Amino acid sequence: MDNYAVEMLGITKIFNGVKANDAIDFRLRPGSIHGLLGENGAGKTTLMNILYGLYRQEEGIIKINGKQENIDSPTKAISLGIGMVHQHFMLARPLTVVENVMLGHKSRRGILLDTKETAEELKDLSDHYHMGIDPYTKIYQLSVGEQQRVEILTAIYMGAEILILDEPTAVLTPQETEEFFHTLREMRKDGKSIVLITHKLEEIAALVDEVTVLRDGKMIGTRRAEGITKEELTRMMVGRDVMFNFPPLAEMNLGVKLSIRDLTAVNDRGVPSLNGFSLDIHGGEIVGLAGVDGNGQNELCEVLTGLRKETGGSIFLDGEDVSGKTPRFYIDKKVSYIPEDRHTTGLAMNWNLKKNMILKAIGSKRFMKGGLMNEKLITQNWDTARDEYQIKAIDGDEKARALSGGNQQKLILARELNADPDVLIANQPTRGLDIGASEYVRQKLIESRNGGAAVLVVSADLEEIMQVSDRIAVIYGGRLMGILPRGADVYEIGSLMMGKRQEELAHE
Ligand SMILES: Nc1ncnc2c1ncn2[C@@H]1O[C@H](COP(=O)(O)OP(=O)(O)OP(=O)(O)O)[C@@H](O)[C@H]1O
Ligand SMILES: [Mg+2]
């Protein structure tokens, strides 16, 4: 007889009359890595939130190591050796790593924790899994990748033998992803059982033992991952084939729209992060900005949208010096922005979807009639966005909080892209989106370009950069390393990303 670390049998979960999970059977083998796949809104996070005791299922039972359990809270889940790292981190930023671990968690031994002792234990665990975490660092000083390792470390420290990771690699650079895979393989060796929710099909082949696919809340099947192809997985997820093709190059004849000159800025910690960055973007052109995360990309986007004050240099929009203007000014100039961190900067989580769709138009006349907000226009606006972007939601009156991660992102994309921008700053536009939605968004970026907009696409995903860019700019240490044409060699882009300047390469 097979034994399992987790068996979820006949799980049904209903939100407002909609089945987010519909009689799902899910089985996790001990000492294995299990991929959980499906389009945005398929029910992956919901299923795992049930396992972690965050939601109660309407139907179905859960067995842990063969024994039926009633998991009615995360505390119960943790006591059963289940740990979960969410799509959006839940760390307290002003506190240190060790303080975060101690916060809200009593010791496994039920007594109050000793800081020094805890820090030492964390350090040992971190060393064992090659995580390189110093327990005394404050969270805000850590990169996103490091913060994620802290979340995992915390879960393991709390005694997790079953570890649920919700889209962990969405925020990692390719290098960090490699290290992260190494850590997961070590954990598997130690007998831990891991559920990995992901949209990246390459990860299935590289890492997992088995894969389960969900579609529209239903379980489509569980397969051994060995030998399974991207095409097969896509078909299971989407129910049809998805085409990937390269759009034609833009005809660049619209002149410089956005000109960035010797821009300097500091990051949240006061450290210089843009160090004299210059770049011109023409109307009707997509410039892809490649770079390892944390080289000034986010600060650049924020300065270009008025969210961060530059410390030097200038920005010109159609020849006009617009340096130091407010976010409102940029919005009025039709500069659209897709922020990297959609959760905290892009949406008002407790507002409903319709209202989020017009967040930036509040105070403008677009949705007004006779001095009042026009409900009919607002509803129409929402209906169009929902249909075009296939946002999985009930009726637009629900809060943004109720949407799945990917559907929250679709909402922001719909709002920003449908504003008919003159300039579009898109930071990691397809992060967290399923393959179908990613294709659609790339198509929309190209449509904006074809409509004459100057588009800057920042992405850690080189494949995406190669696919949509007319020119490829590379940033390193807050400076422009070089500009390459579409179709440039990946290795050349790679060496620029590692800090070699284009002139140096030319002389080699
Ligand atoms: N708290 C909630 N209240 C109401 N509806 C919810 C809630 N959480 C999830 N849903 C709905 O359940 C469905 C499944 O959502 P879930 O978050 O499980 O999707 P997912 O597979 O994780 O998608 P993604 O890849 O976008 O993260 C969606 O239609 C979502 O709107
Ligand atoms: Mg999810």
List, as one string, the DSSP characters of 365-416: STTEETTEE-HHHHHHHHHHHHHHHT---SSS-SBGGGS-HHHHHHHHHHHH
pLDDT digits (tens, 9 = 90+) for 436-492: 888 888 888 998 998 899 999 998 778 888 889 999 999 999 999 999 998 888 778
- Residue 252 DSSP class: -
Span 200-228, pLDDT tens digits? 888 888 899 999 999 989 999 999 998 88
If we measure between CA atoms, which residue out of 38, 53, 33 comes closest to residue 407?
38
Q: How far is the CA of 393 from the centre of ligand 2 (A)?
A: 14
Residue 343 above 80 pLDDT?
no
Q: Whose CA is nearest to atom 3 of ligand 1?
A: 402
Best residue for ligand 1 mutational test, from 347, 399, 404 (most atoms within 8 Å of Cβ): 404
Q: Is the pLDDT of residue 418 over 90?
A: no
Asked if pLDDT for residue 342 goes beyond 80, the answer is no
- Using a 10 angstrom Cβ sphere, with 0-12 exposed, 13-18 middle and 19 or more buried, the burial of residue 53 is buried
Q: Is the pLDDT of residue 362 over 70?
A: no
Ligand 1 atom nearest to 432, measured from its CA: 25
DSSP H or E stretch at residue 112: none
Higher-pLDDT residue of 78 and 93 is 78
Any domain includes 340: no
Q: What is the mean pLDDT of residues 316-330?
A: 93
The β-bridge relationship of strands 6-15 and 320-321 is: unpaired
Residues 451 and 394 occupy one common structural domain: no
| Same domain assignment for residues 413 and 426 | no
Helix H or strand E encompassing 182: helix 174-189
d(CA 249, CA 359): 33
- pLDDT tens, 426-451? 998 988 888 888 888 888 899 899 88
Q: What is the pLDDT of residues 164-193, one digit of tens each?
A: 999 887 767 667 788 889 999 999 999 999
Residues 114 and 166 in one domain: yes
Q: Are 250 and 450 in contact (CB under 8 A)?
A: yes
Assign 321 a pLDDT band (cuts: 50, 70, 90): very high
pLDDT of 494 higher than 90: no
* H-assigned helices in 309-374: 327-332, 353-357
pLDDT band at 64 (very low <50, low <70, confident <90, very high): very high
In a domain, 248, yes or no: no
Number of structural domains found in the chain: 3
Render pLDDT for 110-162 as a digit per residue (tens, 0 to 9): 556 688 888 999 999 999 998 889 999 998 888 778 888 899 999 999 899 99
Q: State the average pLDDT for the chain.
A: 88
- CATH number (domain holding residue 180): 3.40.50.300
- Lining ligand 1 with CB less than 6 A are 15, 20, 38, 40-46, 392-393, 402-407
**Domain that residue 461 falls in:** 256-334+421-508
Q: How confident is the model at residue 73 (pLDDT cuts 50, 70, 90)?
A: very high
Atom 31 (ligand 1) nearest CA: 403
Is 124 within a domain? Answer: yes
Say whether both 39 and 125 belong to one domain: yes
